[in-house]
Structure formats: structure tokens, C-alpha cells
Amino acid sequence: MVKKIITLWYIFILFISNLMAQGVTYTGTSVANFLKIGYSAKSVSMAESNLSLSEDASTLYLNPGVISWLEKSSVSFSYINWLVDTKISYLSLAIPFDFGTMGFDLAYFSSGDILETTILKQEGTGRVVSASDLSLGLSYAKNFTDRFSVGLKVKYLRESLVSVSASTFALDIGSVFKTSILNDMKIGISLSNFGGTMQFTGNELITTQTVPFSPTNKQIPAVFQTESWDLPLMIKLGISTNAIETKNYKLSLGYTLVDSRDYTMRSNLGASLKIFDVFELNGGYRFNYDEVSYSLGVGVKANTNFAGDILLNYAFTNFGRLGLINQFSLSISF
């Protein structure tokens, strides 16, 4: 049974990979681009190279197949000061049961207040508008053997701008395979944002038009027609291992390839050094990206009797000409 599941999974991945490699350029053709943002400070500080590593629920957005390796329930919250004064909040939860591990996550992107401008009123109309994005996900993951896991996430996506919005459902599928070489090196693979299209509707698209050549300038109601847009389909393949592991120190390394529908293949390399299971020093680098390059971060862990294990992470990322991005994550394992 396990062999059949593995075989079907990789056939599916190869099929999707073939569709994405048809030589067609899809740059700028995807909607819901907030799904490409890294939500976890720990993960981002490692350049999101930890596709097959799971220490808390925060990596659920990368690969739903990793949460089945958690030994404790975990809840995590992240806050990000994103580009041009936008904000992102991310909440994730993973709870192990006898039949597998259930997960839930919520990502919310907010533009803040935007002063409306038009062609005729480029200094502003006096109207303040805003935009927001939402992702709600429900996940299930299970270890089919002591070395192989599969996870599935169903998520609801919604984007809003003033009074127009678009929504759809999508799937994330992921798995982790634990090898017997290189200190039990783990191989992770995930397919993200596989689902429907999004088409904007709403009151802002309602207008009136004058009937041509009408002697009375008759006005008729009309609605602007919008196109449907695809989600940013992504396939990720990653490996990770513990290069050094002693009583007081552990050095974890990760490398991930990212193949997206709307840009060329990219790769992420990262490392995390744990000291006395209390402090973490993290770093990573992204290759073949337009602006973003390196990330660095630190973490502090505290073992408590009243709330379990508490882990606080901070990360900053260099976005080149766009400046530095700061984000924080708080995780509790209980």
C-alpha cells in the first residue's frame, strides 16, 4: 500500500512538472502572490530551505507533510513588517492524534490605508481605500512508515480591493522521506496552490454608459468584465540533514529547489546552529531571485512547566533596493 502511494505521488509530481516546463512564459500571470511570502521567522532566516524539517506548526505553509513528525501539539504566531508599509500576520496550529496529525493555519495580508488617486486627480480624491488577502487552511498528515509521511492541505483563498473581491479553493500536497544515509537525511517534496482560478467581482465594477448617438444621452447600467487568473503553482524539492550533532550543539543544513509557474527555477540554501538547545543562529541565501538575497536570524527557547516549550525567533531579510524586512515568530509546543 505504501509503495502504491509513493508511486502515485511521484507520477503526479512528474505530470505537473511536465505541464510547467512547456517553454511558455507565464511571468506576471498569477494572482494571490501573497502565497509566495515566507511566514515563519525561523524558516525565512534559513531562506526557506527547511522543506523537510519540522520543529513547530509554523512550517505548515511550506509543506503539509512535515507536521506528522511533531511529537507535541504546537501553535505558532508570526508578524511581518512587509514591503511599503504592508503587514502580514500568520497563525498555525498542529495537533497529533492516533490517526495522524491535524493542522490549521491562517494568513492575513493588509495594505493599510491607501489614498485613492485617479488620472484626473493625481494628488488624491480624498477617499481612503485598502486591500487585503486571506488564506485559511485545514491540513491532515500521517506517517505511513517510520520513514515516510504524506500531508494534504485544503485552503480557502480570498483577495479584496475596496469593494471588489475574488476567492477560490486550492490544495497543497507534501511528503517527507527519511533516508538511512548522511545522518538520516530527509527529502521533502511539495506541490502548492493547485486549484481553481480567481476572478474579481464587486460594486466597483458597476458603471453607466451613454448610448452612442442617443439624442437624449440615454444612460444604461453596465458592468466591467474581468479575467480569471491562475494561482502561483509551485513545486518544491528539498533535502536537509544534521551535519553536526553533539550533546550541546546541532548544526542543521537545508537546500531547496523551487519551480514556480510564473518564474524560472530558484534555489535556497540555509543553516541553523542550536547551542545548548536554548539559542539558535540561523542564516540562508536565495539564488536566482530578483532582489531578495540573504537572511539572518536568532532564536531563544525556554522550557516552562506552565506553557511547555516556548520559542521566539527573529529574522531580517535583505531585499536589495527595497530595503530590509523584519519579522518575528512565537511558537509554543505543549
* pLDDT level of residue 257 (50, 70, 90 thresholds): very high
Higher confidence at residue 98 or residue 216? 98
CA distance 334 to 324: 33
* pLDDT level of residue 212 (50, 70, 90 thresholds): confident
Mean pLDDT, rounded, of the chain: 88
Q: Which CATH architecture has domain 40-118+125-333?
A: Beta Barrel (2.40)
Structural domain boundaries in the chain: 40-118+125-333
Average pLDDT on 287-313 reads 92
pLDDT of res. 11? 60
- How would DSSP label each residue in 12-40? HHHHHHHHHTSS---TT-BS-GGGGS---
pLDDT at 89 over 70: yes
* pLDDT level of residue 23 (50, 70, 90 thresholds): low
What phi and psi, each to the nearest 5 degrees, are found at residue 302? -130, 130
* pLDDT level of residue 325 (50, 70, 90 thresholds): very high
CA distance 87 to 82: 5
pLDDT of res. 264? 83
pLDDT at 251 over 90: yes
